[in-house]
Amino acid sequence: MSATFDPRNRYLITGGTLPDGTTADVLIEDGLLAAVGQDARARAGTSAEAAAAETINATGRIILPGLVDLHTHLRQPGREDSETVETGTRAAALGGFTSVHAMANSTPVADSAGVVEQVWQLGREAGWCDVHPVGAVTVGLGGERLAELGAMAQSRAEVRVFSDDGMCVWDPVMMRRALEYVKAFDGVIAQHAQEPKLTDGAQMNEGALSSVLGLAGWPAVAEEAIIARDVLLAQHVGSRLHVCHVSTAGSVEIIRWAKERGIEVTAEATPHHLLLTEELVRTYNPVYKVNPPLRREEDVMALREGLADGTIDTIGTDHAPHTAETKECEWTVAAMGMTGLETALPVVQQALVDTGLMDWAGISRILSSTPARIARLTDQGRISSEGVFELGAPANLTVYDPSVIRAVDPESHATKSRNSPFRGMELPGQVTDVFNHGHPVVRDRALATPRTQHQQNQHQQQLKQQTGSAQQ
C-alpha cells in the first residue's frame, strides 16, 4: 500500500547524520540542496514560504546521497513476465536508488538508438528513479559485430556505459575495437568477465564442493584470465574499462595490480558476493544459482577488503529477476540470477559497516559518488570526498535507518520476481525516505508518488539555465 501525501517543492530534513558523521538539517528547495547544517533550519524558518515546507524527522538516521546502480536488469522490452521498468524502478526507489543502469540483454537487445531510447522513455514515464540504459557492445550480444555505439551515445538516452553482460566480449580484437571506439565520447566498456570455453556447462564454483555435489565447476581462472587480458588492452589503447561483478580473490589482485600501474580500470562487487558463499549450494536450492557463482569464504573476505581499500570501486546489485517457472525448478536447468535492489543497502551495512571495514562516508562513495563518476552522470547529487553535500546540487537523497532489524520477505517486495537469496535472513537497516531531484518518491518506508515528466522537463530546463549562467 503506497503512502499518500501532498507533494510540495520545499522539504526540511531535521536531525539526520551526514556521511561525515555530523548531525545536521538539510533543506530542499525547487529540487536542489538549498542549505545544510544550521543554515537549513534558519533559512526554512525565515523564508516567506516556510509554511509550505514539509518537515521530516531524521533523528538517528543517515542522510546519504541517492544511490546509483551501474548494474540492473529491468528485463523490458521482451521479458515483462519477470520485470518491467515500472516494477523494477519501484524496487530501486524502495532500496534507496535514485539512478539505475538497465543492462542491454532485453528482447530485443538494446543495441541500437531506438531500443535505448525506448528504455529511457519508459523510465521517464515511470518516474520513480532515473533510468540510464546500458548499450550493448555487439549486435545481439553475439560478439561478432560492434553495435551502434556512437548512435546510442548521441541518442536522447546519452548512453555512456556499454556491456554485453550475460555474455563476455570474448574476442580480443572485438574488445580492443570497442575500447577504442568509446574513447571518442568518454564512454566505458563494462565487461562480463567469463571465458566461455572454460565455463561451458558450469553450474557452480569449481572446487572440492563441486566434486562432492556432482555439479560442473566454474573455475576462478575463467574470470581472472579475461580481466588480465582486458586491463592490458585498456592500457594499450588508453581507454576506460569497468569490470562487472568481480567474485574472486585473484580478480581483486589483478585489478589492484592494474591500478598501481595507472590503468583506467574500475570494478564492482555485488551484495550477494559480499555475504553468501558456495556452501549454500549444498541445498541444491536454485535461488543460489548465479553468474558468476557464489565463491569461497576467502573470496568474500577479499572482496570486502578490496572495497575497503579502494581496489573495488562500487557495488552493482546485478538485480536479476526471474519468473517462478524459470527459477523454481531443477538446479541444472534453473536460470542464473538473484534480485537485489531492495536488500542492497542492508547487506552492505552488515558486510562492511557493522564489521568495521567502512564508515558511512565510504558507503556514500561506493554506492553514489563513484558510480555516478564512472557513468559520467552530471545531474546526480554531488558530494565531496569528505562526505559533505554540495549546495546547489540536485537533491538526490536517501534517508536510512540503520538501527532496525528486519527479516527479508520477498513476497512484500516491489520487484515482480521473488528470487531473493536473502529470504528469511535478518538484515539490519531500512530506507525510510528517498528524494529524486527534490521530489519525495519514498516517504515513511513506503512508495509515495513518482516524479512526473512535467517535473522532469522543468528540472532539465532549470539545469540548462544554471549551466548557461555559469558559463557567462
Could you tell me which of 24, 97, 94, 63 has the C-alpha nearest to residue 400?
63
What's the predicted TM-score (pTM) here? 0.93
pLDDT at position 206, please? 98
**Residue position matching grid coordinates 572485438:** 174
Sign of CA dihedral 416, 418, 421, 423: positive
Which residues in 230-251 are b (16+ Cβ under 10 Å) and which e? bbebbbebebbbbbbbbbbbbb
Ramachandran category for residue 243: left, alpha or beta (phi over 0 → left; psi -120 to 50 → alpha): beta
pLDDT at position 251, please? 98
pLDDT string in tens for the chain (472-residue length): 344 333 358 999 999 999 999 999 999 998 999 999 888 887 776 555 445 678 999 999 999 999 999 999 999 999 999 999 999 999 999 999 999 999 999 999 999 999 999 999 999 999 999 999 999 999 999 999 999 999 999 999 999 999 999 999 999 999 999 999 999 999 999 999 999 999 999 999 999 999 999 999 999 999 999 999 999 999 999 999 999 999 999 999 999 999 999 999 999 999 999 999 999 999 999 999 999 999 999 999 999 999 999 999 999 999 999 999 999 999 999 999 999 999 999 999 999 999 999 999 999 999 999 999 999 986 555 554 444 578 888 899 999 999 999 999 999 999 999 999 999 999 999 999 999 999 999 999 999 999 986 677 666 666 566 555 545 5
pLDDT at position 379, please? 58
pLDDT at position 395, please? 92
Q: What are the residue boundaries of the structural domains of the chain, listed by start?
A: 66-374
> And the C-alpha cell for 247?
567474485
- Does residue 39 have an active-site annotation? no
Q: 66-374, superfamily in CATH? A: Metal-dependent hydrolases (3.20.20.140)
pLDDT at position 452, please? 81
Whether 74 has a binding-site annotation, put simply, is yes
- Give the number of other CB atoms < 10 A from CB of residue 173: 8
- CA terminus-to-terminus distance, the chain: 48
> And the C-alpha cell for 460?
532539465
The DSSP call for residue 447 is: E
Check: CB of residue 334 under 8 Å from CB of residue 283: no
pLDDT at position 383, please? 52
CA 376 to centroid of chain Cα atoms: 14
pLDDT at position 7, please? 39
Per DSSP, which regions of 20-113 are E strands?
Answer: 23-29, 32-36, 54-57, 62-65, 67-72, 97-102
Check: CB of residue 186 under 8 Å from CB of residue 238: no
Which amino acid is it at 113? A
Please provide the DSSP assignment of 294-335 as one string: P--HHHHHHHHHHHHTTSS-EE---B----HHHHSS-GGGSP
CA 210 to centroid of chain Cα atoms: 30
Catalytic pick from 111, 313, 318, 433? Answer: 318
Pairing outcome for strands 397-407 and 314-315:
unpaired
Q: Which helix (H) or strand (E) holds 225?
A: helix 220-237
Whether 73 has a binding-site annotation, put simply, is yes
pLDDT at position 2, please? 42
pLDDT at position 416, please? 97
Please provide the DSSP assignment of 149-201 as one string: HHHHHHSTT---EE--TTS----HHHHHHHHHHHGGGT-EEEE----GGGSTT
Determine the 3-state secondary structure of 10 from DSSP: strand
